[in-house]
Structure 1
Amino acid sequence: MIRKILFVGSLTAIISSAFAADRLNIDIPDIKQIIPPPPTPGTLLYQNDMNISHASFFIKNTNRYKLAQSDANYSPEGFAQAFEKAFGHQISKKETPAIWKILNQLEIAEGEFTKPAKLFYHRTRPFAYFHEKACVKTDNIHRSYPSGHTTIGWAIALTLSEINPSRTNQIMKRGYEFGQSRIVCGVHYPSDVNAGYLVGSIMFSQLQTSPEFQKEIKLAKKEISKN
Protein backbone atom coordinates (compact mmCIF):
# COMPACT_ATOMS: atom_id res chain seq x y z
CA MET A 1 0.00 0.00 0.00
CA ILE A 2 2.79 2.41 0.94
CA ARG A 3 4.60 1.61 -2.30
CA LYS A 4 1.43 2.34 -4.29
CA ILE A 5 0.89 5.62 -2.47
CA LEU A 6 4.49 6.64 -3.13
CA PHE A 7 4.10 5.78 -6.82
CA VAL A 8 0.88 7.78 -7.13
CA GLY A 9 2.49 10.67 -5.29
CA SER A 10 5.49 10.61 -7.62
CA LEU A 11 3.26 10.42 -10.70
CA THR A 12 1.18 13.35 -9.44
CA ALA A 13 4.34 15.37 -8.88
CA ILE A 14 5.54 14.63 -12.42
CA ILE A 15 2.19 15.63 -13.93
CA SER A 16 2.07 18.79 -11.81
CA SER A 17 5.60 19.68 -12.90
CA ALA A 18 4.71 19.20 -16.58
CA PHE A 19 1.56 21.29 -16.11
CA ALA A 20 3.56 24.09 -14.49
CA ALA A 21 6.13 24.00 -17.30
CA ASP A 22 3.48 24.55 -19.97
CA ARG A 23 1.35 27.05 -18.06
CA LEU A 24 1.79 30.56 -19.41
CA ASN A 25 1.90 33.60 -17.16
CA ILE A 26 -0.90 35.66 -18.69
CA ASP A 27 -3.79 37.69 -17.34
CA ILE A 28 -7.06 35.74 -17.31
CA PRO A 29 -10.02 38.11 -17.77
CA ASP A 30 -13.37 37.42 -16.14
CA ILE A 31 -15.19 35.90 -19.10
CA LYS A 32 -18.54 36.35 -17.33
CA GLN A 33 -18.03 40.10 -17.64
CA ILE A 34 -17.42 39.86 -21.39
CA ILE A 35 -19.75 37.31 -22.97
CA PRO A 36 -23.52 37.49 -22.53
CA PRO A 37 -25.23 34.86 -20.36
CA PRO A 38 -26.78 31.87 -22.13
CA PRO A 39 -30.22 32.54 -23.67
CA THR A 40 -33.17 32.33 -21.31
CA PRO A 41 -36.43 30.44 -21.96
CA GLY A 42 -38.95 32.44 -23.95
CA THR A 43 -36.38 34.21 -26.13
CA LEU A 44 -35.77 33.60 -29.84
CA LEU A 45 -32.15 32.66 -29.16
CA TYR A 46 -33.24 30.04 -26.65
CA GLN A 47 -35.75 28.57 -29.09
CA ASN A 48 -33.06 28.51 -31.78
CA ASP A 49 -30.79 26.59 -29.41
CA MET A 50 -33.52 24.07 -28.66
CA ASN A 51 -34.57 23.55 -32.29
CA ILE A 52 -31.09 23.07 -33.70
CA SER A 53 -29.82 20.95 -30.84
CA HIS A 54 -32.84 18.66 -30.92
CA ALA A 55 -32.42 18.19 -34.68
CA SER A 56 -28.77 17.19 -34.17
CA PHE A 57 -29.84 13.86 -32.69
CA PHE A 58 -31.31 12.76 -36.02
CA ILE A 59 -28.09 12.84 -38.08
CA LYS A 60 -26.31 9.87 -36.52
CA ASN A 61 -24.40 7.43 -38.74
CA THR A 62 -23.43 10.20 -41.17
CA ASN A 63 -19.93 11.32 -42.16
CA ARG A 64 -20.50 14.62 -40.36
CA TYR A 65 -21.43 12.76 -37.19
CA LYS A 66 -18.27 10.65 -37.46
CA LEU A 67 -16.20 13.81 -37.81
CA ALA A 68 -17.82 15.20 -34.65
CA GLN A 69 -16.86 12.01 -32.82
CA SER A 70 -13.27 12.36 -33.99
CA ASP A 71 -13.18 16.06 -33.07
CA ALA A 72 -14.27 15.18 -29.53
CA ASN A 73 -10.75 13.87 -28.78
CA TYR A 74 -9.59 16.55 -26.35
CA SER A 75 -5.81 16.03 -26.35
CA PRO A 76 -2.75 17.23 -28.29
CA GLU A 77 -3.04 14.04 -30.35
CA GLY A 78 -6.67 14.83 -31.15
CA PHE A 79 -5.92 18.46 -32.00
CA ALA A 80 -3.07 17.41 -34.30
CA GLN A 81 -5.28 14.92 -36.09
CA ALA A 82 -8.02 17.52 -36.52
CA PHE A 83 -5.83 20.31 -37.88
CA GLU A 84 -2.73 18.94 -39.59
CA LYS A 85 -4.37 18.47 -43.00
CA ALA A 86 -5.61 22.07 -43.02
CA PHE A 87 -2.27 23.21 -41.60
CA GLY A 88 -0.40 21.56 -44.45
CA HIS A 89 2.20 19.87 -42.23
CA GLN A 90 2.33 16.84 -40.01
CA ILE A 91 2.01 17.75 -36.33
CA SER A 92 3.62 15.44 -33.78
CA LYS A 93 5.65 15.58 -30.59
CA LYS A 94 8.68 14.25 -32.47
CA GLU A 95 8.48 16.19 -35.74
CA THR A 96 7.14 19.52 -34.44
CA PRO A 97 8.00 19.79 -30.71
CA ALA A 98 7.39 23.55 -30.56
CA ILE A 99 3.90 23.23 -32.05
CA TRP A 100 3.25 20.30 -29.71
CA LYS A 101 4.23 22.44 -26.74
CA ILE A 102 1.91 25.19 -27.98
CA LEU A 103 -0.99 22.71 -28.09
CA ASN A 104 -0.29 21.81 -24.47
CA GLN A 105 -0.12 25.49 -23.53
CA LEU A 106 -3.45 26.15 -25.21
CA GLU A 107 -5.06 23.16 -23.50
CA ILE A 108 -4.05 24.46 -20.07
CA ALA A 109 -5.09 28.03 -20.85
CA GLU A 110 -8.52 26.98 -22.15
CA GLY A 111 -9.52 25.53 -18.79
CA GLU A 112 -8.49 28.69 -17.00
CA PHE A 113 -10.49 30.85 -19.37
CA THR A 114 -13.73 28.84 -19.50
CA LYS A 115 -14.09 26.91 -16.24
CA PRO A 116 -15.26 29.84 -14.04
CA ALA A 117 -18.06 30.70 -16.50
CA LYS A 118 -19.01 27.04 -16.93
CA LEU A 119 -19.36 26.60 -13.18
CA PHE A 120 -21.22 29.88 -12.79
CA TYR A 121 -23.84 29.29 -15.50
CA HIS A 122 -24.19 25.56 -14.77
CA ARG A 123 -26.01 25.02 -18.07
CA THR A 124 -27.26 21.51 -18.82
CA ARG A 125 -25.88 19.98 -21.99
CA PRO A 126 -28.33 19.19 -24.85
CA PHE A 127 -28.01 15.41 -24.67
CA ALA A 128 -28.92 15.49 -20.97
CA TYR A 129 -31.75 17.97 -21.48
CA PHE A 130 -33.31 15.90 -24.29
CA HIS A 131 -32.46 12.54 -22.67
CA GLU A 132 -30.43 11.46 -25.68
CA LYS A 133 -26.93 10.05 -26.17
CA ALA A 134 -24.01 12.29 -27.07
CA CYS A 135 -21.61 11.22 -29.82
CA VAL A 136 -19.06 10.37 -27.12
CA LYS A 137 -19.16 9.68 -23.39
CA THR A 138 -19.26 13.05 -21.66
CA ASP A 139 -18.90 13.96 -18.00
CA ASN A 140 -19.79 17.28 -16.38
CA ILE A 141 -23.27 17.47 -17.87
CA HIS A 142 -23.88 20.93 -16.42
CA ARG A 143 -20.92 22.73 -18.02
CA SER A 144 -22.36 23.54 -21.41
CA TYR A 145 -21.72 27.30 -21.54
CA PRO A 146 -19.38 28.38 -23.00
CA SER A 147 -17.95 25.56 -25.12
CA GLY A 148 -14.40 24.74 -24.08
CA HIS A 149 -13.77 22.58 -27.14
CA THR A 150 -14.79 25.45 -29.40
CA THR A 151 -12.63 27.85 -27.40
CA ILE A 152 -9.49 25.79 -27.84
CA GLY A 153 -10.31 24.85 -31.44
CA TRP A 154 -10.67 28.49 -32.41
CA ALA A 155 -7.52 29.47 -30.51
CA ILE A 156 -5.62 26.65 -32.22
CA ALA A 157 -6.88 27.83 -35.61
CA LEU A 158 -5.76 31.40 -34.92
CA THR A 159 -2.39 30.20 -33.67
CA LEU A 160 -1.70 27.84 -36.56
CA SER A 161 -2.72 30.62 -38.97
CA GLU A 162 -0.09 32.84 -37.36
CA ILE A 163 2.50 30.10 -37.78
CA ASN A 164 1.55 29.29 -41.38
CA PRO A 165 -0.42 32.25 -42.81
CA SER A 166 -0.43 30.79 -46.32
CA ARG A 167 -2.96 28.21 -45.06
CA THR A 168 -5.21 30.63 -43.14
CA ASN A 169 -8.33 29.91 -45.22
CA GLN A 170 -8.09 26.17 -44.69
CA ILE A 171 -7.11 26.41 -41.03
CA MET A 172 -9.82 28.86 -40.00
CA LYS A 173 -12.48 26.88 -41.86
CA ARG A 174 -11.37 23.80 -39.94
CA GLY A 175 -11.49 25.78 -36.69
CA TYR A 176 -15.08 26.76 -37.44
CA GLU A 177 -16.02 23.15 -38.25
CA PHE A 178 -14.35 22.00 -35.03
CA GLY A 179 -16.74 24.18 -33.06
CA GLN A 180 -19.78 23.10 -35.06
CA SER A 181 -18.90 19.50 -34.26
CA ARG A 182 -19.94 20.17 -30.68
CA ILE A 183 -23.50 20.87 -31.82
CA VAL A 184 -23.53 17.76 -34.01
CA CYS A 185 -22.19 15.76 -31.07
CA GLY A 186 -25.11 16.85 -28.89
CA VAL A 187 -22.94 18.30 -26.14
CA HIS A 188 -23.37 22.01 -26.85
CA TYR A 189 -26.05 24.42 -28.04
CA PRO A 190 -25.32 26.90 -30.86
CA SER A 191 -25.02 29.76 -28.36
CA ASP A 192 -22.42 27.76 -26.38
CA VAL A 193 -20.37 27.37 -29.53
CA ASN A 194 -20.73 31.00 -30.59
CA ALA A 195 -19.54 32.05 -27.14
CA GLY A 196 -16.62 29.64 -27.50
CA TYR A 197 -15.46 31.33 -30.70
CA LEU A 198 -15.40 34.65 -28.84
CA VAL A 199 -13.58 33.25 -25.81
CA GLY A 200 -11.06 31.58 -28.14
CA SER A 201 -10.34 34.97 -29.73
CA ILE A 202 -9.96 36.58 -26.30
CA MET A 203 -7.61 33.81 -25.20
CA PHE A 204 -5.52 34.21 -28.34
CA SER A 205 -5.23 37.96 -27.82
CA GLN A 206 -4.03 37.44 -24.24
CA LEU A 207 -1.47 34.88 -25.39
CA GLN A 208 0.09 37.55 -27.59
CA THR A 209 1.26 39.28 -24.41
CA SER A 210 3.35 36.27 -23.35
CA PRO A 211 7.05 36.35 -24.33
CA GLU A 212 7.21 32.58 -23.78
CA PHE A 213 4.33 32.01 -26.20
CA GLN A 214 5.91 34.28 -28.80
CA LYS A 215 9.15 32.37 -28.42
CA GLU A 216 7.37 29.10 -29.21
CA ILE A 217 5.64 30.69 -32.20
CA LYS A 218 9.03 31.65 -33.66
CA LEU A 219 10.35 28.13 -33.09
CA ALA A 220 7.21 26.69 -34.68
CA LYS A 221 7.71 28.81 -37.80
CA LYS A 222 11.26 27.49 -38.09
CA GLU A 223 9.98 23.93 -37.73
CA ILE A 224 7.69 24.12 -40.73
CA SER A 225 10.21 26.08 -42.82
CA LYS A 226 12.50 23.03 -42.69
CA ASN A 227 9.87 20.78 -44.25
Structure 2
Amino acid sequence: MDKRMFIVLFRHHFSKRGHTMLLVRLLCFIIICFGTSQAVHAKPYFPAETVPPTLLTPPLAPKSAAWNEEIETIIALQKHASKEEINAAASERDVHPERMLETLHPEITRASNPALFVLLDRVSDTSRVVTNQAKTFWSTKRPYLSDSRVKALIDAHSNNAYPSGHTSASYCFAYVLGMVFPKERQQFIDRAETIAQHRVLVGMHYPHDIKGGKQLADLIVGGLLQNAAFRKDLAKAQKESHTAD
Protein backbone atom coordinates (compact mmCIF):
# COMPACT_ATOMS: atom_id res chain seq x y z
CA MET A 1 0.00 0.00 0.00
CA ASP A 2 1.46 3.38 -0.95
CA LYS A 3 1.61 6.60 1.07
CA ARG A 4 -1.44 8.20 -0.56
CA MET A 5 -3.66 5.22 0.23
CA PHE A 6 -2.56 5.29 3.89
CA ILE A 7 -3.44 8.97 4.13
CA VAL A 8 -6.89 8.49 2.54
CA LEU A 9 -7.75 5.60 4.87
CA PHE A 10 -6.62 7.38 8.02
CA ARG A 11 -8.44 10.59 7.06
CA HIS A 12 -11.67 8.68 6.38
CA HIS A 13 -11.46 6.70 9.62
CA PHE A 14 -10.55 9.43 12.06
CA SER A 15 -12.43 12.43 10.65
CA LYS A 16 -15.71 10.76 11.63
CA ARG A 17 -14.61 10.62 15.25
CA GLY A 18 -13.16 14.10 15.58
CA HIS A 19 -9.71 12.83 16.53
CA THR A 20 -7.98 15.70 14.75
CA MET A 21 -4.74 15.72 16.72
CA LEU A 22 -4.37 11.95 16.54
CA LEU A 23 -4.93 12.11 12.80
CA VAL A 24 -2.27 14.77 12.40
CA ARG A 25 0.23 12.75 14.43
CA LEU A 26 -0.46 9.58 12.48
CA LEU A 27 -0.13 11.36 9.15
CA CYS A 28 3.19 12.88 10.24
CA PHE A 29 4.40 9.45 11.33
CA ILE A 30 3.44 7.90 7.99
CA ILE A 31 5.10 10.64 5.98
CA ILE A 32 8.28 10.39 8.04
CA CYS A 33 8.40 6.60 7.73
CA PHE A 34 7.80 6.56 3.99
CA GLY A 35 10.15 9.45 3.38
CA THR A 36 12.93 7.82 5.35
CA SER A 37 12.53 4.43 3.68
CA GLN A 38 12.69 6.00 0.24
CA ALA A 39 15.88 7.88 1.10
CA VAL A 40 17.62 4.88 2.64
CA HIS A 41 16.52 2.11 0.30
CA ALA A 42 17.46 3.24 -3.17
CA LYS A 43 17.69 0.86 -6.12
CA PRO A 44 21.20 -0.54 -6.73
CA TYR A 45 22.64 0.19 -10.15
CA PHE A 46 23.44 -3.49 -10.60
CA PRO A 47 22.98 -6.74 -8.63
CA ALA A 48 25.59 -8.02 -6.21
CA GLU A 49 26.49 -10.92 -8.51
CA THR A 50 28.06 -8.43 -10.91
CA VAL A 51 31.09 -8.28 -8.60
CA PRO A 52 32.07 -11.81 -7.46
CA PRO A 53 33.70 -11.94 -4.00
CA THR A 54 36.47 -14.12 -5.42
CA LEU A 55 37.88 -11.08 -7.22
CA LEU A 56 39.11 -9.84 -3.84
CA THR A 57 42.34 -10.84 -2.15
CA PRO A 58 41.31 -13.46 0.46
CA PRO A 59 41.21 -12.39 4.13
CA LEU A 60 44.00 -13.36 6.49
CA ALA A 61 43.82 -16.81 8.05
CA PRO A 62 42.98 -16.58 11.79
CA LYS A 63 45.99 -17.13 14.06
CA SER A 64 48.41 -16.87 11.14
CA ALA A 65 51.53 -14.75 11.57
CA ALA A 66 50.05 -11.93 9.47
CA TRP A 67 46.77 -12.09 11.40
CA ASN A 68 48.59 -11.95 14.75
CA GLU A 69 50.60 -8.97 13.54
CA GLU A 70 47.42 -7.09 12.67
CA ILE A 71 45.91 -7.89 16.07
CA GLU A 72 49.00 -6.40 17.72
CA THR A 73 48.68 -3.34 15.48
CA ILE A 74 45.12 -2.76 16.66
CA ILE A 75 46.07 -3.21 20.31
CA ALA A 76 48.86 -0.66 19.93
CA LEU A 77 46.52 1.82 18.25
CA GLN A 78 43.94 1.46 20.99
CA LYS A 79 46.48 2.22 23.70
CA HIS A 80 46.92 5.70 22.24
CA ALA A 81 43.36 6.36 21.05
CA SER A 82 42.20 9.88 21.84
CA LYS A 83 38.71 10.80 22.96
CA GLU A 84 38.36 12.95 19.84
CA GLU A 85 39.19 10.03 17.54
CA ILE A 86 36.79 7.70 19.31
CA ASN A 87 34.00 10.29 19.18
CA ALA A 88 34.66 10.84 15.48
CA ALA A 89 34.51 7.09 14.84
CA ALA A 90 31.26 6.87 16.81
CA SER A 91 29.74 9.61 14.65
CA GLU A 92 30.75 7.62 11.56
CA ARG A 93 29.15 4.37 12.74
CA ASP A 94 26.49 4.62 10.05
CA VAL A 95 28.13 5.78 6.84
CA HIS A 96 25.92 7.74 4.46
CA PRO A 97 26.36 10.47 1.81
CA GLU A 98 25.96 13.34 4.28
CA ARG A 99 28.90 12.01 6.27
CA MET A 100 31.16 12.50 3.27
CA LEU A 101 29.88 15.99 2.50
CA GLU A 102 29.66 17.53 5.96
CA THR A 103 33.28 18.66 6.18
CA LEU A 104 33.75 19.91 2.60
CA HIS A 105 30.25 20.98 1.58
CA PRO A 106 28.01 21.39 4.64
CA GLU A 107 25.74 23.64 2.58
CA ILE A 108 24.77 20.76 0.28
CA THR A 109 21.57 19.03 1.36
CA ARG A 110 18.99 16.70 -0.13
CA ALA A 111 16.81 19.76 -0.73
CA SER A 112 19.50 21.84 -2.42
CA ASN A 113 20.98 19.04 -4.57
CA PRO A 114 18.33 16.35 -5.12
CA ALA A 115 19.99 14.91 -8.23
CA LEU A 116 23.25 14.43 -6.33
CA PHE A 117 21.52 12.48 -3.58
CA VAL A 118 19.61 10.32 -6.05
CA LEU A 119 23.03 9.39 -7.43
CA LEU A 120 24.68 8.87 -4.04
CA ASP A 121 21.79 6.88 -2.57
CA ARG A 122 21.93 4.44 -5.47
CA VAL A 123 25.72 4.23 -5.20
CA SER A 124 25.27 3.53 -1.48
CA ASP A 125 22.86 0.68 -2.07
CA THR A 126 25.03 -0.75 -4.84
CA SER A 127 27.98 -0.77 -2.47
CA ARG A 128 25.85 -2.25 0.30
CA VAL A 129 24.54 -5.25 -1.64
CA VAL A 130 27.93 -6.04 -3.16
CA THR A 131 29.71 -5.71 0.19
CA ASN A 132 27.14 -7.81 2.04
CA GLN A 133 27.57 -10.56 -0.53
CA ALA A 134 31.35 -10.48 -0.02
CA LYS A 135 31.01 -10.49 3.77
CA THR A 136 28.74 -13.52 3.63
CA PHE A 137 31.09 -15.33 1.26
CA TRP A 138 34.26 -14.75 3.31
CA SER A 139 32.57 -14.99 6.74
CA THR A 140 35.27 -13.60 9.04
CA LYS A 141 34.95 -12.42 12.63
CA ARG A 142 35.69 -8.88 13.71
CA PRO A 143 38.86 -8.26 15.76
CA TYR A 144 37.07 -7.50 19.04
CA LEU A 145 35.24 -10.84 18.72
CA SER A 146 38.42 -12.74 17.88
CA ASP A 147 40.83 -11.55 20.58
CA SER A 148 39.75 -10.34 24.02
CA ARG A 149 42.61 -7.84 24.12
CA VAL A 150 40.94 -5.87 21.33
CA LYS A 151 38.11 -3.69 22.60
CA ALA A 152 35.03 -2.40 20.84
CA LEU A 153 35.47 1.31 21.52
CA ILE A 154 32.12 2.27 19.98
CA ASP A 155 28.66 0.72 19.68
CA ALA A 156 29.75 -2.43 17.90
CA HIS A 157 28.74 -4.12 14.67
CA SER A 158 28.76 -7.91 15.00
CA ASN A 159 28.29 -9.01 11.39
CA ASN A 160 31.15 -10.37 9.29
CA ALA A 161 34.30 -8.30 8.99
CA TYR A 162 35.85 -8.81 5.56
CA PRO A 163 35.78 -6.62 3.56
CA SER A 164 35.14 -3.36 5.40
CA GLY A 165 31.78 -1.96 4.36
CA HIS A 166 32.58 1.50 5.71
CA THR A 167 35.67 1.50 3.50
CA SER A 168 33.95 0.30 0.35
CA ALA A 169 31.07 2.75 0.80
CA SER A 170 33.15 5.79 1.73
CA TYR A 171 35.61 5.19 -1.11
CA CYS A 172 32.75 4.72 -3.58
CA PHE A 173 31.32 8.01 -2.36
CA ALA A 174 34.73 9.67 -2.62
CA TYR A 175 35.34 8.53 -6.19
CA VAL A 176 31.86 9.53 -7.33
CA LEU A 177 31.95 12.87 -5.52
CA GLY A 178 35.31 13.45 -7.16
CA MET A 179 33.57 13.10 -10.52
CA VAL A 180 31.03 15.74 -9.50
CA PHE A 181 33.55 18.03 -7.76
CA PRO A 182 36.85 17.19 -9.51
CA LYS A 183 38.86 19.93 -7.78
CA GLU A 184 38.17 18.28 -4.42
CA ARG A 185 38.69 14.66 -5.42
CA GLN A 186 41.72 14.14 -3.18
CA GLN A 187 39.98 15.73 -0.21
CA PHE A 188 37.09 13.30 -0.55
CA ILE A 189 39.56 10.40 -0.76
CA ASP A 190 41.30 11.68 2.37
CA ARG A 191 37.95 11.79 4.15
CA ALA A 192 37.23 8.19 3.10
CA GLU A 193 40.63 7.08 4.39
CA THR A 194 40.00 8.75 7.75
CA ILE A 195 36.70 6.91 8.11
CA ALA A 196 38.35 3.63 7.13
CA GLN A 197 41.22 3.95 9.60
CA HIS A 198 38.86 4.83 12.43
CA ARG A 199 37.28 1.41 11.95
CA VAL A 200 40.60 -0.24 12.75
CA LEU A 201 41.17 1.98 15.77
CA VAL A 202 37.86 1.09 17.41
CA GLY A 203 38.27 -2.67 16.95
CA MET A 204 35.76 -3.19 14.16
CA HIS A 205 38.26 -4.14 11.45
CA TYR A 206 41.70 -5.52 10.69
CA PRO A 207 43.93 -3.40 8.44
CA HIS A 208 43.48 -6.15 5.83
CA ASP A 209 39.71 -5.53 5.90
CA ILE A 210 40.42 -1.95 4.86
CA LYS A 211 42.51 -3.13 1.91
CA GLY A 212 39.67 -5.43 0.88
CA GLY A 213 37.19 -2.57 1.12
CA LYS A 214 39.34 -0.42 -1.15
CA GLN A 215 39.66 -3.25 -3.66
CA LEU A 216 35.92 -3.69 -3.64
CA ALA A 217 35.30 0.04 -4.11
CA ASP A 218 37.56 -0.02 -7.18
CA LEU A 219 35.57 -2.92 -8.63
CA ILE A 220 32.22 -1.34 -7.84
CA VAL A 221 33.15 2.00 -9.37
CA GLY A 222 34.50 0.20 -12.43
CA GLY A 223 31.10 -1.44 -12.80
CA LEU A 224 29.30 1.85 -12.25
CA LEU A 225 31.22 3.57 -15.02
CA GLN A 226 29.96 0.93 -17.45
CA ASN A 227 26.35 1.34 -16.28
CA ALA A 228 24.13 3.57 -18.42
CA ALA A 229 21.77 4.52 -15.57
CA PHE A 230 24.71 5.57 -13.40
CA ARG A 231 26.21 7.68 -16.17
CA LYS A 232 22.85 9.38 -16.71
CA ASP A 233 22.44 10.18 -13.01
CA LEU A 234 26.05 11.35 -12.80
CA ALA A 235 25.49 13.80 -15.66
CA LYS A 236 22.42 15.19 -13.88
CA ALA A 237 24.36 15.64 -10.63
CA GLN A 238 27.23 17.33 -12.45
CA LYS A 239 24.86 19.72 -14.23
CA GLU A 240 23.10 20.48 -10.95
CA SER A 241 26.37 21.28 -9.15
CA HIS A 242 27.59 23.49 -12.00
CA THR A 243 24.29 25.39 -12.00
CA ALA A 244 24.63 25.96 -8.25
CA ASP A 245 28.14 27.36 -8.77
Same fold (TM over 0.5): yes
Q: More relative contact order in 1 or in 2 (CA 8 Å, sep 6+)?
A: 1
Aligned partners of 2:144 and 2:152 also within 8 Å: yes
Alpha-carbon distance in 2 for matches of 1:203, 1:155: 7
Aligned partners of 1:73 and 1:79 also within 8 Å: no
> Residue in 2 aligned with 1:78?
99
Alpha-carbon distance in 2 for matches of 1:197, 1:163: 20
Describe the shift of the 1:185–1:90 C-alpha distance in structure 2 as closer, same or farther (beyond 3 A).
Answer: farther
1:1-227 map, 5 Å: 22-25=43-46, 28-41=49-62, 43-81=64-102, 84-85=103-104, 88=105, 90-131=107-148, 132-139=150-157, 141-225=158-242, 226-227=244-245
For residues 17-70 of structure 1, give each alpha carbon's deviation from its aligned partner in whole angstroms, at most 9, with x where no partner exists: 777753324674343211122111454421332111222332344333332222
Which of 1 and 2 has greater Rg?
2
Give the % identical residues.
22
Q: Which amino acid aligns with 1:136?
A: I
Aligned partners of 1:54 and 1:130 also within 8 Å: no
Runs (4 or more) in structure 1 with deviation over 6 Å come to 10-20
> Residue in 1 aligned with 2:21?
none
Unaligned runs of 5+ in 1: none
Aligned partners of 1:80 and 1:91 also within 8 Å: yes
> Residue in 1 aligned with 2:15?
none
Aligned partners of 1:22 and 1:101 also within 8 Å: no
Describe the shift of the 1:24–1:221 C-alpha distance in structure 2 as closer, same or farther (beyond 3 A).
Answer: same
Describe the shift of the 1:144–1:26 C-alpha distance in structure 2 as closer, same or farther (beyond 3 A).
Answer: closer
Note the aligned Cα RMSD (angstroms).
3.0
For residues 175-204 of structure 1, give each alpha carbon's deviation from its aligned partner in whole angstroms, at most 9, with x where no partner exists: 222211211121000000110001011111
Aligned partners of 2:44 and 2:125 also within 8 Å: yes
TM-score (norm 2): 0.76
Aligned residues: 218
TM-score (norm 1): 0.81
